[in-house]
Amino acid sequence: MTSLNNSNMALYARRSLRVIDPESHDGSAEYKRQVHKNLSTTRLRTLSTQMSYRLDEGKGRCTYHIGVEDDGCHSLLDYPAVSESAWILESIARSLNAVVLQRKMIQNEIEFTHAENDEEVLTLTKDRSRVIVVDEPPVLARGDMVGDYHYVNEDEKEDKVDVRGGGSGSTSNGKGHSKKKTRLCTEEGSYTRCELVIQRVETHLLDPSPLSLSALSRVSSFGEGVDGAMATTDLRKLAGLRLDRSASIHEDEAEMQTSSPKEEEKSGMGSSMTDDSISKPISVEETLSSRNIRVAVVGNVDAGKSTLIGTLTTSFLDDGRGSSRTAIMKHRHEIESGRTSTSSSHLLGFRHSGETIAGCDKIRSNKMKSEDEIARSSYRIITLMDLAGHEKYLKTTIHGVSSGMADYGLILVNSRHPPTHMTQHHLNLCCTYGIPVVVVFTKIDGCPDHALDTSKKELSKLLKSPDIGKKPFAIKTEQDVTTCIGKLHTLAPTIDISCVTGEGLDLLRKLLFALPKRRRHEKKVNRPFEFLVDDVFSNVPGVGSVVSGFVNAGELTVGNTQVYIGPTDDGTFLKTVAKSAHIARINTTHVTAGQSATLAFSLNKEMRKKLRRGMVVVRDNPTSTKVFDAEICVLKGEGTTIRKSYQAYVHVLNVRQTAFARNIEIVNNNALGLPPSHCADSDGIVLRPGSRAKVCFEFAKRPEYIRPGMRMLFRDGRVRGVGIITGIPAVEPVA
C-alpha cells in the first residue's frame, strides 16, 4: 500500500475525513487520537479520572474511540499505534474495576484515489463492503480467558477472529455454512481506528489488587524499541489479573460457566469477552439502596463507639489511646476530648465472599479510601452511624435515630462498668422505633472476669424488662451467627470484642454481613418523590446551594425536572430545579428511594437564606401544616403528667420542633389490659405513664411537612412517649 508523504495532505485529510459524529463534552463516549507509551503517573491519573467520569455518565459503561479526532475525523494512525493505545486504556480501565467488553479494530475506511492532476489523495471508502471490522480479544481477559494477542503478519496462514465487513476469503465449518474470516494489516499506511467498550463490574469477582497506575507508568516507559507484543507480556506479568476463586459466584454466573461450547458458539462468545461472559455489571445505585444496611451505633460516652467504627472501617487495630477514633472524628474538640458531639456516617464495604474492604490504602496507610471508592468496590455496604453518647447530646442522638432510617442498632457497653442509665435510654429509644438491637461488650482486654459477669447480668435485666422484652443470646461461634439471624425480633445477640487485640471483631464482621435488609425502600419507588433534608450547605463554590439527606420515597432525574423545597417559615415552598446530584460522592443523574444523596439547586441569594434543616424536597402538590392529629402512648418510667397545653419537643423523621397539645381524647385501653387514662374534674383529662390517647398537636414556631403514617416521638428533656400521625387538616396545595 502506498504511503502518504505529503504532510500538508495528511493534515488536510485529518480535518476532512469524518468517520463518526463530533465528540460531546457530556455522555459516555470519549475520543482519543493516541495514548503514548511514555506517560507519567500524573498523566495516567488524569486519564483515569476522565475514564471514571465517562463510566459515571454511561451508568457503568463507556465507549472509547481511538484514532479519531475530537471533530470525528480519522487520525490516520497505523495499527501498532492504535493497538498500543488500546492496551494502555484497557489497563487504566482495570485499575478502575472495569473490563473491556469489546475491542473492535476497523480498517480500510480510508483509500487512495487519483485526482484530476494525477495526484494521489485520501478519501473515504465508498464501497462499505471493503471495510474490515474485527473483534479482537482483550489483553486483560478474566482468568483463563486471556486471549493470545499478537500481530498478524502477511505470511500467517491462520486468519484472525470474527469479521463484520468484507475480507480476503472464506472457509467452511463442515456443516454447509460459510464463515468469513479476514486478517488485519500492520504495514505502514494501514490506517486503523479502534472502539473499546468498557464496563464496570463487581470487583469481588476480580483480583483485589489490580494493576496500579505507578506500575503501568513503569511498563509504558520502557523504551522506544520495545514492541507491542513485548509490552503486552510485561503488562500481564505485572497485572496478575485473575478471578478471585475464594469469592462466591452469582447463580447466573455459575450457569454461564457451565454452559456448553455449542451454546457459547451460538451466542458468539468464543474466546472473546461479551456481555454474558463477564460478571453482572455493578450498579452503585443498587448497592447504595437495596444492598445498603444502616446501623445506628449508640452507647454510653465511654463505650468506644467511634473507636469501634474507626477500627472496622480502616481495618487497623487501636493502640489503646484513641488512634482509631481520630480517623473518623470531624471536629478538633471531639479529638481532644474523645466525646462525639455530632452525627456522622461511615461506610463499611464487603465483597461477595464476606471479606471486608479495607478503608486505608495498602501502600499509603495514612490515606483513607474515599466513599466512592468503597461504594464502587463493594457488593454490600454497612452504613455505620456514629451517634453521641453523652447525656448532654441526647437530643442529637434522638434526632439521629429518628431521621437515620436505621435497620439495626448497635448498643455498645463498656465491659468494665455496669450499664448506666444512658444505656437504658438508648435501648428504650431503639425499641421505641422498632429497631432490632445487637449488644457489644467492648474493652474486654484486661477486663476482670467478675466485672464482665456483672455487666452482663445487669444488661440481661435491662433486656428482659417489660419495656424492651428481648432475650440475650451470646455469640461465640459462626454457627451462633446463623442461629440468631431471623430471630432478631425476640433475641438480642451479644458479642465480646476488643479493638486493641482484635478479639471478637471477625465474629462482629460476619454478623454485620449476615444481617438481612429490614427497610425495603425500593418498594416505595412508585410513590411520589420525597427527599428529607438533613443538612444544608448554602454557598458551595462553583455549585451554589446544596442539601444532603435521605430519599424516603420515589425517584428523581436531575436536569430540567421542577421540584419544590420547603416549607419556609411562612409555610410556602420554593420552586426550583435540581441541577445535579451525588450519592457517596459519585456524580449521578438519578436518585431513588433508599439512598442518601446530595442535591444542588438553582436558587438566588434571597432563596438560599430560607433553606434550613428539616425541609423536604417534593415534586408534586407540596403542603405544610402547623396542626396534626396523632395517637400517642405515654411511656412507662418516671412520673409524667400530660394534660391540655402540654408542651414537648416533637421528632417526626427529620422534623424537630416544639409543639403543644391543643386537645386530648381518651382511648379505652381496658380491653388491652392497659391502665386507663386518668380524668381530673378541675384540670380536665390527664395522661399518665401507660396511657393512650388521641392528641391534637400544634407546632409552636413554623409549619412543617408531615403526612399520616409517620412515626413521632415527643420529649421534655427525656423521652416521654411515642405515637403515629393519624391525620392533618385539609390544606390547599401550593400552586
Distances (CA, A) of 179 to 156, 170, 173, 174, 266: 18, 6, 7, 10, 13
What is the structure's pLDDT at 232? 46
Integer Cα distance of 25 and 20 in angstroms:
15
Question: 18: alpha, beta or left, given left = phi > 0 and alpha = psi -120 to 50?
Answer: beta
CB 177 within 8 A of CB 221: no
pLDDT at 275 over 80: no
Which of the pair, 699 or 344, is modelled with greater confidence? 699
φ, ψ for residue 95 (rounded to 5)?
-65, -20
> How many Cβ atoms sit within 10 Å of the Cβ of residue 695?
26
222: phi then psi, degrees, rounded to nearest 5: -65, -85
Distances from the Cα of 3 to the Cα of 36, 153, 187, 404, angstroms: 22, 18, 10, 67
Domain ranges of the chain: 7-247, 286-519, 522-618, 627-727
- Measured in residues, the chain has a length of 735
* Beta strand 292-299 pairing with 380-386: parallel
* Cα distance between residue 212 and residue 92, in whole Å: 8
In this structure, whether the domain defined by 522-618 belongs to CATH 2.40.30.10 is answered with yes
The span from the CA of 722 to the CA of 695, in Å, is 12
- For residue 641, the model assigns a pLDDT of 79
Mapping DSSP onto H, E and C, the string for 137-200 reads: CCCCCCHHHCCCCCCCCCCCCCCCCEECCCCCCEEECCCCCEEEECCCCCCCCCCEEEEEEEEE
- Please state whether beta strands 471-474 and 491-496 pair in parallel, antiparallel, or not at all (unpaired): parallel
C-alpha cell at 298: 449508640
Cβ proximity of 311 and 505 under 8 Å: yes
Taking Cα atoms as reference points, which of 426, 431, 344, 429 lies closest to residue 385? 344
Q: What is the CATH number of domain 627-727?
A: 2.40.30.10
Q: Which one-letter DSSP state was computed for residue 271?
A: T
By mean pLDDT, which of 215-219, 275-279, 577-581, 690-694 is the weakest?
A: 275-279
* 443 phi-psi bin (left φ>0, alpha ψ -120 to 50, beta other): left
pLDDT given for residue 301 in this prediction: 87
* CA 651 – CA 389 distance, rounded (Å): 19
Average pLDDT, the chain: 77
Assess whether pLDDT exceeds 70 at residue 240.
no
SS3 per-residue string spanning 590-611: EEECCCEEEEEECCCHHHHCCC
CB 259: neighbour CB atoms within 10 A?
14
Give the integer Cα–Cα distance in Å for 649 and 451: 38
The architecture (CATH level 2) of 286-519 comes to: 3-Layer(aba) Sandwich (3.40)
Q: Angle, to 10 degrees, between the axis of helix 421-432 and the axis of helix 394-403?
A: 20
Percentage of the residues of the chain whose pLDDT score is greater than 90: 32
How many Cα neighbours within 13 Å face the side chain of 585? 11
pLDDT of residue 669: 53
Mean pLDDT along residues 70-95: 87
pLDDT at 350: 92
pLDDT exceeds 80 at position 259: no
CA neighbor of 551 nearest in space, from 521, 577, 520 = 521
Which of 223-237, 238-252, 483-497 has the largest mean confidence? 483-497
What is the distance between the alpha carbons of residues 356 and 350, in angstroms, rounded to a whole number? 4
pLDDT at residue 137 in the model: 84
What would the pLDDT profile of 547-572 be if each residue is shown by its tens digit? Answer: 999 999 999 998 878 899 999 999 99
> 166-205, pLDDT tens digit by residue?
443 444 444 444 344 567 777 776 788 999 999 887 544 4
Instruction: Name the most confidently modeled range: 114-118, 264-268, 301-305, 502-506.
Output: 502-506
Topology match between the domains 286-519 and 522-618? no
Cis peptide bond upstream of 567, omega within 30: yes
**pLDDT at res. 678:** 52
pLDDT at 145 over 50: no
